[in-house]
Amino acid sequence: MTSKSAKPYSLIALDMDGTVLDENSQITPENRKWILRAIEHGVTVMFATGRGLQSVQPFVQELGLTSPMVAVNGSEVWEAPGLLKTRHVMDPVWIREMVDLAVRRDTWYWGYAVEGLFNKERWVEDIGSMEWLKFGFYVEDAALLGEIRAELETTGRYELTNSHPFNIEVNPSGVSKESGLLEVCAMRGITMDEVIAMGDSMNDLSMIRAAGLGIAMGNAQEEVKAAADYITALNTEDGVAKAIRKFVFGEER
Active site residues: 15
**Helix, coil or strand: residue 21:** strand
**Helix, coil or strand: residue 12:** strand
174 Rama class: left (phi>0) / alpha (psi -120 to 50) / beta: left
Dihedral of alpha carbons 46, 50, 52, 56, sign = negative
Residue 139: partners with Cβ closer than 8 Å, 6 or more residues away: 105, 106, 107, 108, 145, 148, 166
Give the residue among 179, 175, 139 at the shortest CA–CA distance from 158.
175
Dihedral of alpha carbons 166, 169, 174, 180, sign = negative
